[in-house]
Structure 1
Amino acid sequence: MAECNCCKSTSNIACNIGSFNSEERIRYDELRKELNVNRSIEELPNGYRFIYPNQPTLLLTIVEWISYENRCCPFIEFSLQVSGEADFIRLDLTGDQAVKDLLKEEFHLG
Structure 2
Amino acid sequence: MKQLTILGIVLLSFQAMAQKKESCCSEDAAMACKLTSAEFKERKATIIENLKKEIVETVELKNGMKYAFKDSDETIAMLADFIKTERQCCDFFNFGLSVSAQKKYVYLELTGPKGVKDFIKSELSL
Same-fold status (TM-score > 0.5): yes
Structure 1 residues without counterparts, runs of 5 or longer:
1-10
Question: In the alignment, what sits opposite 2:119?
Answer: 102
CA-CA distance at 1:33 after TM superposition: 1.7
Question: In the alignment, what sits opposite 1:53?
Answer: 70
Matched residue SS, 1:69: helix
- State TM-score, norm by structure 2: 0.65
Structure 2 residues without counterparts, runs of 5 or longer:
1-28
Matched residue SS, 1:50: strand
Bigger relative contact order, structure 1 or 2 (CA pairs below 8 A, ≥6 apart): 1
Q: Does 1:86 align with 2:85?
A: no
Distance 1:106 1:88 in 2: 25
The structure where helix makes up a greater share of residues is 2
CA-CA distance at 1:13 after TM superposition: 1.6
Contact kept, 8 Å, 2:48 with 2:124, in 1: the verdict is: no
CA-CA distance at 1:12 after TM superposition: 2.1
Distance 1:13 1:28 in 2: 17
Question: In the alignment, what sits opposite 1:31?
Answer: 47
CA-CA distance at 1:42 after TM superposition: 0.6
Contact kept, 8 Å, 1:28 with 1:65, in 2: the verdict is: no
Matched residue SS, 1:97: coil
Matched residue SS, 2:53: coil
Identical amino acids, percent of aligned pairs: 29
Larger radius of gyration: 2
Runs of 4+ in 1 over 6 A off after TM superposition: none
How many aligned residue pairs are there? 96
Letter in 1 for 2:46: E
Q: Does 1:17 align with 2:21?
A: no
Distance 1:77 1:33 in 2: 20
- State TM-score, norm by structure 1: 0.73
What is the alpha-carbon root mean square deviation over aligned residues? 2.6
Distance 1:105 1:28 in 2: 12
